[in-house]
């Protein structure tokens, strides 16, 4: 039986190991992160995920992938296939998109760094915020422009250092595993 890769390039498939490895590192010594910290991180990630989704819609309009600037958000549905659209972006907007992705990662890292002085807690905070941000991003795209049509649709996950392609279910799975890893290894209130 041959196991095929889900994402491209091949190393993107290793992302599924990040929450699994984190869980095994944290299970003996729980992560000291409070429910309050997780709630605050969640509020940030939810808002940020929605902002990211709207930016994608705006970029599509700027790239002419909306039928003119008078198009409605539902018009994006016809032109939403992410893997094809990336080749249609003008180079200047593609550069802007790479810079936006860099800024996104820096914001998520910064919020995690503000959470605690302990590295383990910072990593857990980053995984938590990243997971919620990613899930809300897809939920907001679906709520506003009805994309993706299914979790099997291919998306461009990142452009850094090169385009990452995977079905939408893959980042959602990694995000769900990250949330579970943090929740299962979080210190009890008595231990905090």
> What pLDDT shows up at residue 18?
98
Query: What values do phi and psi take at 11, rounded to 5?
Result: -70, -15
Say whether pLDDT at 39 is over 80: yes
The mean pLDDT value of the chain amounts to: 87
Query: What helix, strand, coil percent values describe the chain, rounded to 5?
Result: 70, 5, 25
C-alpha to C-alpha distance for 67 and 61, rounded to whole angstroms: 8
Query: What values do phi and psi take at 32, rounded to 5?
Result: -80, 80
Predicted TM-score (pTM) of this structure: 0.87
Q: Where are the domains of the chain?
A: 10-191
More confident residue, 82 or 104: 104
Give whichever of 18-22, 90-94, 184-188 has the largest mean pLDDT.
18-22
C-alpha to C-alpha distance for 6 and 20, rounded to whole angstroms: 17
End-to-end CA distance of the chain: 47
> What pLDDT shows up at residue 111?
97
C-alpha to C-alpha distance for 15 and 98, rounded to whole angstroms: 20
């Amino acid at each position: 039986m041959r196991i095929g890769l889900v994402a491209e390039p091949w190393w993107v498939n290793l992302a599924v190991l990040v929450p699994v490895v984190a869980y095994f590192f944290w299970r003996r010594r729980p992560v000291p992160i409070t429910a309050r910290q997780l709630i605050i991180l969640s509020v940030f990630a939810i808002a940020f995920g929605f902002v990211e989704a709207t930016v994608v819609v705006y970029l599509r309009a700027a790239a002419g992938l909306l039928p003119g600037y008078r198009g409605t958000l539902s018009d994006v549905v016809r032109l939403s296939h992410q893997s094809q659209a990336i080749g249609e972006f003008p180079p200047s907007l593609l550069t802007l998109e790479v810079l936006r992705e860099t800024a996104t990662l820096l914001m998520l890292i910064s919020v995690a760094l503000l959470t605690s002085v302990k590295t383990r807690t910072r990593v857990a905070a980053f995984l938590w915020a990243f997971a919620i941000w990613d899930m809300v991003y897809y939920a907001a795209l679906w709520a506003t422009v009805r994309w993706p049509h299914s979790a099997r649709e291919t998306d461009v996950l990142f452009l850094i250092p090169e385009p990452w392609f995977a079905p939408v279910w893959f980042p959602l799975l990694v995000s769900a595993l990250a949330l579970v890893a943090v929740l299962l290894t979080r210190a009890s209130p008595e231990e905090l």
